[in-house]
Structure 1
Amino acid sequence: MMDPVRQTGLLGEDGDSGKQERRSSTTSREQHGDSFLRKLGAGLISGAADDDPSGIATYSQVGAQFGFSLGWTVLFCYPFMVGVQGLSARIGAVTGQGLARNLRRHYPASLARVATLMLLIANVINIGADLAAMGAALRLLVGGPQLVYAVLFGIVCVLLEIFVRYRRYAMFLKWLTLSLFAYVAVVFVVDVPWMDAARGVFIPSFTFGGEQAMALVAVLGTTISPYLLFWQAGQEVEELGRRHHPRLGANPQAAEPELVRIEIDTVVGMALSGLVALSIMIATATTLHANGTTHIETSAQAAEALQPIAGNVAFALFAAGIIGTGMLAVPVLAGSAAYAVAELFQWTEGLDRAPRRAKAFYGTIALATFGSVAVFLVGVDPFLLLYWSAVINGVLAGPLIAIMTMMAANRRIMGQLKAPWWMLVLGGTTAIVMVSATAAMLLL
């Protein structure tokens, strides 16, 4: 018979073994979750920044004007978003250079100059519209001077981007993506007729007229914005430098894990962007369109219009989300402009650089942000800012995506790591769709 003491010891050992196995299993799950989160970076931030206050205004206007009938445009845009952002990230990681530097190196210099100038103009206008919307949203929540709030938001964004170290700043931007779920929450606060919403999302309907064509261009221009392409390529270059990795093209055999990470990051980031866009359309279709409010000019106006219909909770969530998404988007807009300008003039660049080592790069960030403040200080209507920003983005996006697709297919540029066929097909199709939609808007 086994000694009781010994038996107890064995039971204790078995218990310890069981606990160790459970701890090991828990640790494995935690490491797996941590590993997944580490894969999310530039793509997640790009997807979240896509839903900036100007994007919120666009989705709100589409939902208010057309109800659920254009919900399908979000699903329509999703594969295009994944394709073009994936191309951008791949070009940056494989070549070790951003889009503007690749344009300057492999194409006529005039092309890079025109693209950079148009991007800078569009971004300055977009930043101005975003800061104005953030100031208006804070005024709606707490009262006070909208203009002062907008200027303070601009100052805070610039100081954080210049003086906070890249790794900590990237983590700050990742956490800010949680603010987007305010719009998902709004959908559950209001009483949505889900059958009608599902019909609008999954059964495409389109009337060939000027208003719907313009709405389609607006959704395309808001979801597939050139600044996000410059940003994500630049961030992939930055990430390689932070980890002291060579460009992927220098060692194609070891590139597979990084390319998989980029694909996961992009797929998840664009899915988040689409979920939020659809939530905003459904929320405004349920409340504003259903009650006869069909014209929204700003994201703050959308929040204000929600209050008497959907209640204080929906209003507060919507308004707070505008501030959070603005804090996320303004640095991305300013940063993408800085990457493009620095690459064009071959300046030292990167958010991981100390300010004294990249003065021109950080100076461009400050100039783009404070230049935008000047735009709305002169009293330009915020909706006009959004409109012209969308027009410039629409003009730039189609040709830029076409060139980017050719670049990603070029073995001289990409070596053995040229983009897969499905990504090239999505890139080419996106360019055709965006150019066609712009032409339709002008002709109808």
Structure 2
Amino acid sequence: MTEQQAVLDSAHVGDIKGAFGTIRHGDVASRKTWAQRLRTLLAILGPGLIVMVGDNDAGAFSTYAQAGQNYGTSLLWTLALLIPVLYVNQEMVLRLGAVTGVGHARLIFERFGKFWGAFSVVDLFLLNALTIVTEFIGISLGLDYLGMPKVPGVILSALAIMAAAGTGDFRRFERMSMVLVFASLLLVPIFVIVHPPLGQVAHDFVVPQLPAGKLSEIMLLIIAIVGTTVAPWQLFFQQSYVIDKRITPRFIKYERADLWLGIALVIIGAVAMIAFSAHLFAGRPEFGQFTDAGAVAKALGEHYGRLPGVLFAIALIDASLIGAMAVSLSTAYAMGDVLNLKHSLHRKPGDAKGFYLFYCGLIALAAALVLIPGVPLGLLTNAVQTLAGVLLPSASVFLLILCNDREVLGPWVNSRLTNLLTAVVVAALVLLSVILVAAVLFPDMPEQTIVNTLIFGGVIGLVVALAVNVIHAREDALSDHKPAVLTDKARYAWRMPPLSALKPMVLSRRNTLWMGVLRAYLLIALLMTVWKVAQMALH
């Protein structure tokens, strides 16, 4: 066990005060009965559920509804492929949070240097600011369907989001969040009322296919689905929230269960939205003519009665509220970590002014932008999700390297299987971005060429991932510095030392090369994404 821990805010040490229970600081008692394990799980529940359901936000409603209205259920398979991506990425950050006590942005600064640290924080700040704007777009669309005035509704929603975090009581915030989490299940009765064909839904969920249509737009939507389901802000949020909840390595297995519950909820909601949107518009003139989530609520009301339309509008507002809370918090946590500010929901606003200033400032700015007439809100929503998908590979690369850094994680570094899965995930995400670039440059590219590129690129990515893991395994076998084998008790007690005590990270030539490739990829992919979005705007 390390004598000192790298905790940056003293409020991050103490009792775990969850929405459904408390675990005393220093509790090392074994949980032998099912009742004891259940009580512990209930106390730990929160980070995984909030981060997952928070990502089924207003942007997700728009993206999933667009997939269903424009292409039926033919893109459901993308959600099945994203399940391991969700788990692998979020399991790594929850492990980083529990073991290090340091937020994701600060670790990138400390281990990769100022360039990548500044890039990650600026990228997070800008993308999160745009994402929060989409949350207020969702709130305004939901209010409009319910017949409530937009301006006071948006202002009251912004004040409610600020108030939720501003009490200085972590448990109170988490309880409010959990109410919003379980309200996301309102999508299930809509699915039951619309009753799309279950056989077709199940088939399209497991069988990959590309629908008919303009390929560049289909690829843009697929990347948007990836970006809205696995967004970069999730990595920063969950790592910091696990720290703020005071979860230690001893409770990692319970936090993994919490994460799986969150993944189940997010996939249920996403499948339901694509499926009932597909069935709702099938055979109607509106099929293939998506406008926004408000039009989906209106169509539900016209064809299936007022109830499903109201449920959809309420679910949209609910998703937007929890999304705005989580995304704003991820930014405030990151800025607090990097700028050495007090940053905890256990602190009242007067005791953490900078932290709450970032949180409330982003919300106020986003709400104001939505109320400005003439802002292209629909296009902004799709652009945000696509940008998130393009930027995700870089976030995954940082995450992968950090989780193999023994100075940071000690006995908690990645297993070879996790490294292999993550390498495959990164390769797949980069491949999607490459196809997007090709589709923008060559808009008339045949569908078979895209399919062949996916297959060939997938095989190459798998081979590269296997080769990299074999090389790492050989390097570990030849290394003179083999890690000590710890008992479970010692492993659970291990925490990262203070940042000043860590040896500097020395990137190998191979990793340095890959980081250079990553810079070039980001530049090209971002330029192509901006170009494609501009084309759509002009059209």
Partner of 2:494: none
1:170 correspondence with 2:174: yes
CA distance in 2, matches of 1:40, 1:420: 25
Partner of 2:70: 65
Task: Give 1:288 shift.
Answer: 1.8
Alignment of 1:291-302 (within 5 A): 291-293=284-286, 294-302=288-296
Q: Is the 2:227–2:387 Cα contact (8 Å) retained in structure 1? A: no
Q: TM-score, normalised by structure 1?
A: 0.86
- Picking from 29, 32, 49, the partner of 1:44 is 49
CA distance in 2, matches of 1:270, 1:144: 32
Partner of 1:436: 431
Deviations 1:356-395, CA, capped at 9 Å, x for gaps? 2211011000111111123223331221221232233123
CA distance in 1, matches of 2:166, 2:421: 36
1:211 correspondence with 2:217: yes
Change (3 A) 1:33 1:262: closer
Q: Is the 2:225–2:385 Cα contact (8 Å) retained in structure 1? A: no
Q: Is the 1:298–1:382 Cα contact (8 Å) retained in structure 2? A: no
CA distance in 1, matches of 2:155, 2:274: 29
Amino acid at match of 1:268: L
Partner of 2:322: 328
CA distance in 1, matches of 2:152, 2:257: 40
Partner of 1:399: 394
1:147 correspondence with 2:151: yes
Of 370-379 and 217-226, the range deviating more from structure 2: 370-379
CA distance in 2, matches of 1:167, 1:386: 32
Q: Any runs of at least 4 consecutive aligned residues in structure 1 with deviations exceeding 3 A, and if so which?
A: 28-36
Alignment of 1:311-322 (within 5 A): 311-322=305-316
Partner of 2:417: 422
Task: Give 1:427 shift.
Answer: 2.5
Deviations 1:60-110, CA, capped at 9 Å, x for gaps? 000111101111111110110011011111111111111001011111112
Amino acid at match of 1:149: G
Task: Give 1:295 shift.
Answer: 2.6
CA distance in 1, matches of 2:254, 2:207: 33
Partner of 1:25: none
CA distance in 1, matches of 2:130, 2:308: 28
Deviations 1:169-204, CA, capped at 9 Å, x for gaps? 112111211111111111101132222222211211
Q: Is the 1:231–1:332 Cα contact (8 Å) retained in structure 2? A: yes
Partner of 1:14: none
Partner of 1:277: 270
Other structure's SS at 1:163 match: coil
CA distance in 2, matches of 1:290, 1:37: 46
CA distance in 2, matches of 1:296, 1:286: 14
Q: Is the 2:223–2:390 Cα contact (8 Å) retained in structure 1? A: no
Partner of 2:234: 228
Q: Is the 1:71–1:278 Cα contact (8 Å) retained in structure 2? A: yes
Alignment of 1:329-348 (within 5 A): 329-348=323-342
Amino acid at match of 2:94: A
Unaligned runs of 5+ in 1: 1-27, 249-254
Amino acid at match of 2:273: I
1:101 correspondence with 2:106: yes
1:287 correspondence with 2:280: yes
Alignment of 1:223-262 (within 5 A): 223-240=229-246, 248=248, 255=249, 257-262=250-255
Q: TM-score, normalised by structure 2?
A: 0.72
- Picking from 378, 382, 390, the partner of 1:387 is 382
Q: Highest relative contact order (Cα 8 Å, sep 6+), 1 or 2?
A: 1
Change (3 A) 1:297 1:113: farther
Other structure's SS at 1:419 match: coil
Deviations 1:372-423, CA, capped at 9 Å, x for gaps? 1232233312212212322331232110111111111111211111123333
Q: Is the 1:183–1:321 Cα contact (8 Å) retained in structure 2? A: yes
Q: Is the 1:54–1:298 Cα contact (8 Å) retained in structure 2? A: no
Other structure's SS at 1:144 match: coil
Aligned length: 403
Unaligned runs of 5+ in 2: 1-32, 440-539
Task: Give 1:282 shift.
Answer: 0.6
1:360 correspondence with 2:354: yes
Task: Give 1:239 shift.
Answer: 1.4
Q: Is the 2:196–2:275 Cα contact (8 Å) retained in structure 1? A: yes
CA distance in 1, matches of 2:49, 2:244: 15
Partner of 1:20: none
Task: Give 1:29 shift.
Answer: 7.1
Identity %: 23
Q: Is the 2:68–2:273 Cα contact (8 Å) retained in structure 1? A: yes
Change (3 A) 1:432 1:181: same
Amino acid at match of 1:113: A
Change (3 A) 1:198 1:407: same
Other structure's SS at 2:403 match: helix
Partner of 2:520: none
CA distance in 1, matches of 2:155, 2:330: 20
Task: Give 1:212 shift.
Answer: 2.1
Task: Give 1:305 shift.
Answer: 2.3
Task: Give 1:37 shift.
Answer: 2.7
CA distance in 1, matches of 2:149, 2:106: 42
Task: Give 1:33 shift.
Answer: 4.5
CA distance in 1, matches of 2:431, 2:74: 21
